[in-house]
Amino acid sequence: MVTAIENRVNSLNEPFLNVPHSQENLLPAEKLSMDLLTKIQDRTAVVAVIGLGYVGLPLATTCAEVGFTVNGIDLSEDKVAGLNRGESHIQDVPNEQLASLVSSSRLRAHTGYDSVADADIVIMCVPTPLNKTGDPDISYILAAGNALRDRLKSGALVVLESTTFPGTTEELLAPMLVEAGLTVGHDLFVAFSPERIDPGNPHFGLRNVPKVVGGMTPACRTVAVAFYEAIVEQVVPVSSPIAAEMTKLLENTFRSVNIALVNEVAIMCSKLGVDVWEVIEAAASKPYGFMKFSPGPGVGGHCIPVDPNYLSWKLKHLNYNARFVQLAGEINAEMPTYVVGKVVDALNAQRKAVNGSRILVLGVAYKPDVDDVRESPALDILRLLHARGAELFYNDPYVAQLKLNGVTLESQPLTSALLAAQDCVVIVTAHKDYDWASITSAAKVIVDTRNVIHTGTTERATVIRL
């Protein structure tokens, strides 16, 4: 075991590590890195995960499952109490899995940061939303960094996983941590590894999605790679934290731009009287040079609507206007308005106004078969229809209730009577639980934003597509 660890240390490029090693003649910094590598390999390292949401809780449970002792930290007292009872608030982490780890003392949740003092590895998975002006809100990162600064022990590894603008790890987080007298690459190891969690994905989870890792020094990269190799199948090292930060933003900007393109094509096809879905399927028959994306009512989740803004914000501070990125965001943000326009047209054809009409929205989660409503386009569609005076209802088998303009709405049982009573049904999220044949036989008018009601289906409803 020691030989393998020494090989890792000997492979580093820093001058003080480019000498033959033995346990007796190690320099202090070398010994700290070797001690941490040993703890990672024999699973005696204590891991602290800050933020126990959609990213942090799956990471914490995975670390515990492979043998690490894990202290989870979250500011929500209700969430922490539930976790310590073995009750998961994340769909991808079953109660049975969590309860087993809690009962075996592999995982414990806390509302304070004191347990960080025992941690050899600290992973930051805190929220990074946008503020009201659309600028990055990194207050959670700064708050966590402040809390860590006076609690970190010498030789600890700190990894930021929260999506943020390029330069955050090296320019903001690391300078905060070294104020306690530690030195990066010697007695403190700092890295960035972007989260790649896709809630509800049955094929790709934390373990089988490659993990990008960028350390501030070769020593930082080595210990961070060793840690992630213990919990995932493949690690992809990159040269620096900023390269890892940029990787994450490229991934989601790529999706944002391509979704915007196909959304605009949908609008063009509507004006031309062409079926956009037919066009997309025909284009997708090309075996090279084309990747299929589908239009929809907008983009949701924490990543695609948010991450490109981090990139364009950073570039503004470098006197560069990321026009392409910003335009894609504008197109996607306008799609809920476009959908409401389709609803208006559907009601006008019945000689009805939106004001006073009964409208049912099917699916409010941002993607199928999950309970996550973060940045869901359904919320914007509901707000726009509410502002026009519609009498609103929704159904979602995964979301029991939601807040709309300060009012709590509850998911309505999806019955034939409910469908028949609506002036318009708007399909926003195509959950697998929905029986589209029954829906089309009971509803009068449907605005289908997901192309789930196919031409030729025996249906009572008038169907309007994007």
Domain identity same for 210 and 352: no
Asked if residue 185 and residue 64 are part of one domain, the reply reads yes
- The answer to whether residue 195 is domain-embedded is yes
Does 299 map to a domain?
A: no
* % of the chain with per-residue pLDDT over 70: 93
pLDDT at 16: 33
Tell me the CATH number at 208: 3.40.50.720
Asked if 372 contacts 429 with a C-beta cutoff of 8 angstroms, the reply is no
Q: What is the mean pLDDT of residues 331-342?
A: 97
* Spatial distance between the Cα atoms of 220 and 173, rounded to a whole number of angstroms: 14
Phi, psi of 247 (to 5 degrees): -60, -45
Same domain, 217 and 314: no
State whether 24 and 158 are in the same domain.
yes
The pLDDT tens digits of the residues spanning 133-148 come to: 888 899 999 999 999 9
Same domain, yes or no, for 99 and 176? yes
Q: Residue 132: its pLDDT value, please?
A: 79
* Nearby residues of 323 by Cβ (< 8 Å), 6 or more positions away: none
Residue 209 confidence class, pLDDT cut points 50, 70, 90: very high
Catalytic residue among 125, 269, 303, 424: 303
Helix/strand number for the chain, H first, E second: 16, 15
Domain end among 182, 204, 239 = 239
Does 406 fall in a domain?
yes
What is the CA angle 105-234-70, rounded to 5?
A: 15
pLDDT digit string, tens, across residues 389-421: 999 999 999 999 999 888 899 999 999 999 999
Q: How far is CA 299 from CA 34, 291, 463, in A?
A: 45, 18, 22
Instruction: Identify whether 95 is part of a domain.
Output: yes
Res 177 pLDDT > 90: yes
Q: What is the mean pLDDT of residues 251-265?
A: 97
Above pLDDT 90, what percent of the chain? 86
What average pLDDT score do residues 54-77 get? 97
In a domain, 425, yes or no: yes
Last residue of a domain, one of 222, 239, 256: 239
Residue 63: active-site member? no
Domain check: are 229 and 328 in the same one? no
230-243: b (≥16 Cβ within 10 Å) or e? bbbeebebbebbbe
| Domain span including residue 366 | 307-465
Q: In whole angstroms, what is the distance from residue 27 CA to residue 4 CA?
A: 18
**Does residue 267 form part of some domain?**
no
Whether residues 322 and 219 fall in one domain: no
Residue 266 neighbours by CB under 8 Å, 6+ apart: 276, 295, 466
pTM higher than 0.85: yes
- Identify which of 335, 333, 346, 356 has the alpha carbon closest to the alpha carbon of residue 426: 346
- The number of distinct structural domains making up the chain is 2
Listed range (60-69, 210-219, 298-307, 439-448) with the worst mean pLDDT: 298-307
Nearest partner of 70 among 60, 58, 85, judged by Cα: 60
Give yes or no: residues 338 and 447 share one domain.
yes
Residues 225 and 314 in one domain: no
Average pLDDT rounded to a whole number, residues 346-366: 97
- Whether residue 17 sits in one domain with residue 147: yes
Q: Is residue 207 part of a domain?
A: yes
Q: Are residues 352 and 210 in the same domain?
A: no
Q: Confirm if 251 and 308 have CB atoms less than 8 A apart.
A: no
Is there a single domain that holds both residue 233 and residue 344?
no
Of the three residues 219, 239, 259, the one that is the final residue of a domain is 239
Query: Taking the mean position of all CA atoms in its chain, how far away is CA 135?
Result: 18
Residue 371 lies in a domain: yes
